[in-house]
Amino acid sequence: MASTDTSTTSSQISAVANEEHKRTVDEAFLNKMKGLVERLRLENATLKKSLDIERSEVRALKARNESTLRNLKTEHRKKEEFLEKQLRTAKPDKTTDSALDNKVFEIKKLTIEIQSLKSANKGLQEKLKIKTKALINSPIASM
């Protein structure tokens, strides 16, 4: 009977030791998981801040590009109006050949400037489209 008691006692001690070991391993695993979760939360917060900063920078760039585009359109319109006014007020019978040549030269010069403004306008619009697409397609924006 004494041997049965000792075997039962030793098996109970063994079971208690196994439970204690399992609990220790589970606690270590749980602590490790908590640490990983906390690290992921911090990384997520950092990424959200970065995304907010990038979005505000994109908004600023977009606003600046739109402002530049408006200014270019205004300049273009003013120069076109000036050119049209010059063409309407030009009276070829009173002008000399040199004055006429100067006006033709000025018209050509203004036409070239209008073309360059149009190409600059196109370039700015393309840049704006590219930056907008880049923002939309960026991996940070998809979060």
**Residue 142: inside a domain:** no
**Residue 68: inside a domain:** yes
**Residue 72: inside a domain:** yes
52-71 pLDDT per residue, tens: 999 999 999 999 999 999 99
Separation CA 31–CA 25 (nearest Å): 10
This prediction has a pTM of 0.43
**In the prediction, which pLDDT does 22 show?**
92
**Residue 23: inside a domain:** yes
Separation CA 52–CA 106 (nearest Å): 49
Interaxial angle between packed helices 97-137 and 2-89, expressed in degrees from 0 to 180 and rounded to the nearest 10: 170
Torsion of CA 136, 138, 139, 143, to 10 degrees: -30
Cβ 12 vs Cβ 101: under 8 Å = no
**Residue 143: inside a domain:** no
| Structural domain of 27 | 2-137
Q: Across residues 14-29, what is the average pLDDT?
A: 90
**Residue 131: inside a domain:** yes
Nearest in space to 114 (alpha carbons), one of 94, 139, 84, 137: 84
**Residue 81: inside a domain:** yes
Placement of tokens 């749980």 in the chain: 30
73-109 pLDDT per residue, tens: 999 999 999 998 988 886 655 557 788 888 999 999 9
Cβ 142 vs Cβ 90: under 8 Å = no
Query: What's the structural domain count of the chain?
Result: 1
